[in-house]
Structure 1
Amino acid sequence: MADAATPEQVFRNGMSLLVKNDFEAWAGLFAQDAVMEFPYAPEGAPRRVEGRAAIAAYMRPFPEHMEVRELTDLVIHTTGDPRTVVVEFGSAGRAVATDEPFAMSYVVILTVENGLITRYRDYWNPLDAPASMRQGWDRASA
Structure 2
Amino acid sequence: MTERNTVPGPREIVERMRRGMVGDTAAIEFAEDAVYETPFALPGSPRRFEGREAIQNHLAARSAEGMRAALDIRDAVATVYETTDPDVVAFEFELSGVSVPAGTPFRFTSSIGVLRVRDGRITHWRDFPNFLGGAEAAGALPQLAAMLGGQDTP
TM-score range (shorter-chain normalised) is 0.7 to 0.9
Rg (Cα) greater in structure: 2
Over the aligned positions, Cα root-mean-square deviation in angstroms equals 2.8
Partner of 1:86: 90
**Which consecutive residues of structure 1, in runs of 5 or more, have no partner in the other structure?**
none
User: With structure 1 as the length reference, what TM-score do the two structures score?
Assistant: 0.75
Partner of 1:9: 12
Letter in 2 for 1:109: V
Partner of 1:115: 120
1:124 to 114, 129, 132: 129
Going from structure 1 to structure 2, the CA distance change for 1:128 and 1:45 (only over 3 Å counts) comes to farther
Corresponding residue SS for 2:147: helix
TM superposition shift of 1:49: 1.6
Q: Which consecutive aligned stretches of 4+ in structure 1 deviate over 6 angstroms post-superposition?
A: none
Corresponding residue SS for 1:123: strand
How many residues get paired?
133
Please say if 1:36 is aligned against 2:28: no
Letter in 2 for 1:87: F
User: With structure 2 as the length reference, what TM-score do the two structures score?
Assistant: 0.70
Mapped contact 1:5–1:114 kept (Cα < 8 A): yes
Percent of paired sites with the same residue? 32
